[in-house]
Structure 1
Amino acid sequence: MVEPENKSVETPRSDRLQKIPVLNFATFHMGQTSDANSTEFDENDRKNQEDAKTIAAMIAQFKPTIICVEVPWEENEELNQEYQSYLSNPEPTTYYGEVGLVAFEVGRLSELARLYGIDHKMGYNYMIGEQIENAIDSTTYKDYFKDPFKFDTELTINLDSLPLLDKLKMMNHPKFLDFLINVNADILAFAGTENGFEGADEAAKYYQRNLRIYSNLNRIPMTVNDRVFVLSGGSHTAFLNEFLNRSPKYGTVDVFQYLK
């Protein structure tokens, strides 16, 4: 797979107006998930666990001082109890899938005392366009879901066929991240009744959820000496990139400097 050209390079802080570097990393859920779309992955398979540890070692080269994961903010105490157990006995754990398999190991290698859960749960209806009489643009809506990748041959929807490293490279590809925003939110704006905005209103809920996740990130005390690693499902990564890239506080780091 051809890696994307990315001009987001890690430069000296003095050249980035003292912005805090953030390695915002997209993954699929390596355990059970309520997401509408999931990727086949046996988190109990020893080979998969070893592959996840290899990915963690790559990410640890970033030398994070703060690690944020897709665990609800209100579960931080439980998260860190699990993490402390892992530090005492660093055997693979399926706690929140990728959190236990990847983030815990990155934290251990980075000698961090704790992690931060920044997720905020909010429900919304992925399938609203199938449940209403769509009077906005049902043609575009249906055509998109029939084959969402037909307009971009660089991407593949068959992630299950890829080894873990290649799968994560695809998920962190800028065009794939754009796709995740579209398929999870923007395409819903093509669905609605004659005088209604049902699709757009559902999409707004997903924007709201991700803005709240971003707000939780901003609750964490940090300075320009910190280095932040965020591990979350791909659609959250995609939204966070949008917010981070416009932020006066943060500077995003090219994932492909470490995902090799």
Structure 2
Amino acid sequence: MKHAFFFLFACLVAATCGAQTRPSDILLLGTFHFHNPGADVAKTKTFDVMAPKAQAELETITQKISAFHPDKIFVEWPWDEQPELDKLYNAYLGSQFEQFVSTTYPAKRQNFFLKNEIIQLAFRAGKKAHLTRIYALDYTKTSFPFDSVLKAMQAAKQVALLQKSQDAIKHYETSQNQKLETYTLTQLLLDANSPGELALNKGLYLDILNRAGTTDNFAGAFLVSEWYRRNLYMYSLVQKTMTPQDGKALVLVGSGHAAMMREFIASDQQFRLKELKDVLK
């Protein structure tokens, strides 16, 4: 009976995949946070996205994304706060964005709305592409118990693993800060989406954190599973929002999310990954 079920399921999947003649192109764009809140484990410097050179680059980047003709754009905004994102984007389309932000949000939050990659990149590209909506996909109802993982390493006397995790974070901070000081915005984005950088990002979870703890302590694996769960939930929103009529989409997320979602897209027969370097060339 079990074999019959799996055979039926396999036939259903094959029929569903066959019904869609051509997969949709997904431009997965991983980025550092333009407005850095300092919430990540690795602490990096802030890039001045409002500088004239960066603004000129953003015009070129978003023009090329617009020429890619995305039918939908997804951003790292809480999925259950879509109405607020709609209000922000509508204000942006109406060329009253700065006034809307200054009258709606307290002064300490206004920099976020003016500098964030959602506004600077996604909203700008969406307006150029004549899109009427930007879609929220972030899911934050998961835990990230990094301190518990470090304590699990210490309790298990995993001295070498603890040192390896600290070295990895320090190396990333040093490398990224140097890039932030010397790279152009375009170079930063291309670097963040290179296979090597994405593999390093993902490797921190699987090569280091997943090993944390004794054989009866799964603090490390729990953190990694929560990270996977957050990204799977986010990706499911892309899957459920895209329709067969949508030929292309931009998914703009932090580079850590992109490292995970790249794997998901590669396993999804209804989507085809579009490389950023090919869009920006």
Matched, 1:228 2:249: yes
1:258 is paired with a residue of what secondary structure? helix
From 55, 58, 78, the counterpart of 1:52: 58
Percent identity, aligned pairs only, is: 26
Partner of 2:80: 74
**Partner Cα separation in structure 1 for residue 196 and residue 232 of structure 2:** 21
Return 5+ residue gaps in structure 1 as ranges.
1-13, 151-155
CA offset at residue 120 of structure 1? 0.2
- Structure with the largest fraction of helix: 2
AA in 1 matched with 2:137: I
CA offset at residue 194 of structure 1? 5.1
CA offset at residue 139 of structure 1? 1.2
TM-score, with structure 2 as normaliser:
0.77
Tell me the alpha carbon deviations over residues 6-63 of structure 1, each in whole angstroms, 9 at most, x when there is no partner. Answer: xxxxxxxx9x951111001111111143222344223444443333333222222211
- Trace 1:40-189 onto structure 2 (pairs within 5 A): 40-89=46-95, 94-95=112-113, 97-121=116-140, 122-132=142-152, 133-135=154-156, 137-147=158-168, 156-157=175-176, 158-161=178-181, 162-184=183-205, 186-189=207-210
Indicate how the Cα distance of structure 1 residues 148 and 258 shifts in structure 2: closer, same or farther if over 3 A, else same. same
1:136–1:194 Cα contact (<8 Å) kept: no
Whose radius of gyration is greater, 1 or 2?
Answer: 2
1:128–1:191 Cα contact (<8 Å) kept: no
1:185–1:207 Cα contact (<8 Å) kept: no
Matched, 1:205 2:226: yes
Give the number of aligned pairs: 242
- The CA RMSD over aligned residues, in Å, is 2.7
2:188 is paired with a residue of what secondary structure? helix
AA in 2 matched with 1:56: T
Indicate how the Cα distance of structure 1 residues 194 and 246 shifts in structure 2: closer, same or farther if over 3 A, else same. closer
Matched, 1:219 2:219: no
- Trace 1:24-39 onto structure 2 (pairs within 5 A): 24-33=28-37, 34-37=39-42, 38-39=44-45
Partner of 2:269: 248
Indicate how the Cα distance of structure 1 residues 222 and 170 shifts in structure 2: closer, same or farther if over 3 A, else same. same
